[in-house]
Amino acid sequence: MDKLRITGGQKLHGNITISGAKNAALPILCASLLTADDIQLHNVPRLRDIDTACKLLAQLGVTAQVDGENITLNAGQITSLEAPYELVKTMRASILVLGPLLARFGEARVSLPGGCAIGQRPVDQHIKGLRAMGATIELEHGFVVAKAKRLKGASIRTDMVTVTGTENLLMAAALAEGETILENAAQEPEIVDLAELLIKMGARISGHGTERIVIQGVEKLHGATHSIIPDRIETGTFLCAVGATGGELMLHNTAATTMQSTLDKLRKSGIDIECGDNWIRGRMTQRPQAVSFSTAEHPGFPTDMQAQLMALNCMANGTAVIVENIFENRFMHVQELIRLGAKIETEGHTAHVKGVNQLFGARVMATDLRASASLVIAGLAAQGDTIIDRIYHLDRGYDRMENKLAAVGAHIERLRQESL
């Protein structure tokens, strides 16, 4: 298993190009199932999760031509309507093939994802919405088995805000008969990006980016070309890194408009942030100030940035109170940060982080994707060497992070399994 070795204490200076958003690319890849025509995608991040999604689509019969950050998908010759457990278990976003398969082919058999490290994230809202659209759905031997001659438009209000649930129902409704209204819909920028692709494919959608999305179903969708939006979480992660180490980073191919809540908190921590149309500059010349926050659905502070800002708070002046409202088990990075010298106490969904003057390198273990990023940030600021194990989590959602950081002055290297 690969590891990262970081020798901390180096300020960061230079330019980083932000990759396409993982959380936008995954549903968009699945949207290729809605048409027999080519879907040409640009700015696709090179990630383990993208590879997994392409393997799953290939299992269904989708062909993919990959050229760096460009992928052309064609679902003209689908050979299977089943997403097997072996692939779904490695990436929960695999459930996003359910809506497109059911809408276009009238049936789907998708393995239940099961639990995961940061919380259960049930798929009951997906099932509730599809049943409202006329689907017959049974749970058989660990599979969601769905059938419908043609989905019918419906008014659907989910019991909670669910990003993947909104995405699945949005894709299904695009080919349903009549009007579908999604109430309590997720408002994330990645939802908007998916809707914009579907509109290019011929879908009739309005209200995306609000809590009420209206879809007028069409008979058929066609091919399209689309560029994935920049990754706001990767952007926020690098801003936390420069906040922890000091220095200045110029981040290119990013969009400040998609991450205002994150930028607001980072400015309060003391980072000097300037924004342009497709760039953000972050400069840090002082010790960070403690910043309290609570995670919430967009446009609130994203749960995917909680661990990274906690890492920054570990070396801040003062005490921060952090409340995690989205996932029930997303403080597993706390014990690893404590190994680096952080002072953190947790009680239920709340963490109290008292900043220390200095963190110290140690051997730590990544427990999930964003926890991995928090350990990288802490390691960059710590005195001495930090070894991070199980970084396959990091590779799921960050495109060559160690290369990008090394290019701006970090002392960071990947220790390949064969050399360990």
Summary mean pLDDT of the chain: 95
pLDDT at 91: 87
Among 30, 54, 116, 240, the active-site one is 116
- Report which of 107, 90, 87, 89 is spatially closest to residue 98, judged by C-alpha positions: 107
Place 89 in a pLDDT band, splitting at 50, 70 and 90. confident
Place of tokens 């009420």: 212
Place 117 in a pLDDT band, splitting at 50, 70 and 90. very low
Place 330 in a pLDDT band, splitting at 50, 70 and 90. confident
Q: 41-55, 74-88, 183-197, 319-333: lowest mean pLDDT where?
A: 319-333
pLDDT at 418: 61
- Report which of 94, 110, 109, 82 is spatially closest to residue 30, judged by C-alpha positions: 94
Q: pTM of this prediction?
A: 0.95
pLDDT at 114: 56
Helices (H) and strands (E) in the chain, counts: 14, 24
pLDDT at 142: 87
Place 113 in a pLDDT band, splitting at 50, 70 and 90. confident
Mean pLDDT of 332-350: 96
Mean pLDDT of 332-361: 97
Q: 91-100, 150-159, 355-364: lowest mean pLDDT where?
A: 91-100
Place 183 in a pLDDT band, splitting at 50, 70 and 90. very high
Chain segment 205-221, per-residue pLDDT in tens: 999 999 999 999 999 99
Mean pLDDT of 364-393: 96
Helix (H) / strand (E) element for 401: namely helix 401-406
Chain segment 220-275, per-residue pLDDT in tens: 999 999 999 999 999 999 999 999 999 999 999 999 999 999 999 999 999 999 99
Chain segment 262-301, per-residue pLDDT in tens: 999 999 999 999 999 999 999 999 999 999 999 999 999 9
pLDDT at 371: 93
Query: Could you tell me which residue, 116 or 186, shows the higher pLDDT?
Result: 186
Place 121 in a pLDDT band, splitting at 50, 70 and 90. low
Chain segment 17-56, per-residue pLDDT in tens: 999 999 999 999 999 999 999 999 999 999 999 999 999 9
Which tokens hold the place of 319? Answer: 């005490």
pLDDT at 119 over 50: no
pLDDT at 419 over 90: no
pLDDT at 80 over 90: yes
Is 54 a catalytic site residue?
no
pLDDT at 87: 87
The DSSP secondary-structure symbol of 278 reads S
**Contact assessment for residue 111 and residue 83, using Cβ atoms and an 8 Å cutoff:** yes
Residue 9: partners with Cβ closer than 8 Å, 6 or more residues away:
245, 381, 382, 383
pLDDT at 310 over 70: yes
- Give dist(CA 52, CA 59) in Å, integer: 11
Q: What are φ and ψ of residue 400, in 5° steps?
A: 50, 50
Place 165 in a pLDDT band, splitting at 50, 70 and 90. very high
- Give dist(CA 26, CA 45) in Å, integer: 10
pLDDT at 5: 98
* Length of the chain, in residues: 420
pLDDT at 367 over 80: yes
pLDDT at 420 over 70: no
